[in-house]
Amino acid sequence: MKTKGFQYTRAWARGQLLQLVATASSLAALIAMLDPDRVATAMGLFLVGVNGYSQFYAIYVGVRLATAGLAMLAARRGDQPILGDLVALFLLAQPAGRLVAAVAIGLPSGALFVVSGIELLAGLALLALRPRAHRLAP
């Protein structure tokens, strides 16, 4: 019986974390839509021309909203842990890409370094809270 309570707690915590990711991703996308130049400057980007803004919106709005939608779906569909795993993959891909860049040019600094740490922790926590597979009796 103790195991069921623990599984419920893990599922609840994972659902809460997924909702937090959905909220944070939605807010980040909204802020990027409302003030793209300020967000770009904070991230060390310079937006030039239509293509620059288009690429910024694709990543900082489109991908963030897709992550938010997937996280919300995963939070509501706890019986399908693969959805939460995909959210973790989206989150972990960002610090992984920054790690590749760090080898070539160095680690990010300031707010972006903090954001990278949060993405890494949230992605790893989602994987750590993944429901355990049911074992068949021998």
Whole-model pTM?
A: 0.86
When divided into structural domains, the chain yields a total of 1
Report the alpha-carbon distance of residue 135 to residue 5 in Å, rounded.
17
Domain of residue 112 covers 14-128
Whether 85 is covered by a domain: the verdict is: yes
Give the tens place of pLDDT for each residue, 109-128.
Answer: 888 899 999 999 999 999 99
- The values of phi and psi at residue 45, to 5°, are -105, 150
- Grade residue 134 by pLDDT with cuts at 50, 70 and 90: low
Whether 83 is covered by a domain: the verdict is: yes
Is residue 1 predicted with pLDDT exceeding 50? no
Whether 133 is covered by a domain: the verdict is: no
Report the alpha-carbon distance of residue 20 to residue 105 in Å, rounded.
32
Paired tokens of 78: 């706890």
Give the tens place of pLDDT for each residue, 18-60.
Answer: 999 999 999 999 999 999 999 999 888 999 999 999 999 999 9
Whether 64 is covered by a domain: the verdict is: yes
Residue type, 81: P
Contacts of 30 (CB under 8 A, 6+ apart): none
- Grade residue 63 by pLDDT with cuts at 50, 70 and 90: very high
